[in-house]
Amino acid sequence: MLSSPRARFAYVLIMLAAFAGVLGLAVIVLKQALFAGVAEAWMMAGVLAVVVGLPLALILLPVASWLKRNVRAHGIIPNAGENVPGAGR
């Protein structure tokens, strides 16, 4: 889970932009396929799901995971400018 509100907001914006782009591309291609016929539109939908959706998910999900890890690693221990009490004893 993303801990900071900024990280959650960035994650949502990245995923929203990516999926909006993919959906826009899919609508354009499916609209062109519908002019050829219904069967061709269904075949194009399957091709789009595999050819566009899978590589996009393989790229975006690790990026989102890296962002989540990076934000969590820096956000767990706040920097108060002091040493940890009792660490040197």
pLDDT at 1 over 70: no
Identify whether the C-beta of residue 33 lies closer than 8 Å to the C-beta of residue 44. yes
pLDDT at 81 over 70: no
Q: Residue 27's domain spans which residues?
A: 19-74
More confident residue, 35 or 53: 35
pTM for the structure as a whole = 0.45
Any alpha helices (H) in 5-86, and if so which ranges?
A: 5-36, 38-48, 54-75
Nearest Cα neighbor of 21 from 10, 31, 33, 29 is 29
Per the domain annotation, does 47 fall within a domain? yes
- Mean per-residue pLDDT for 45-73? 79
Per the domain annotation, does 5 fall within a domain? no
Per the domain annotation, does 86 fall within a domain? no
Number of independent structural domains in the chain? 1
pLDDT tens figures, 6-25: 877 888 888 888 878 877 88
Per the domain annotation, does 9 fall within a domain? no
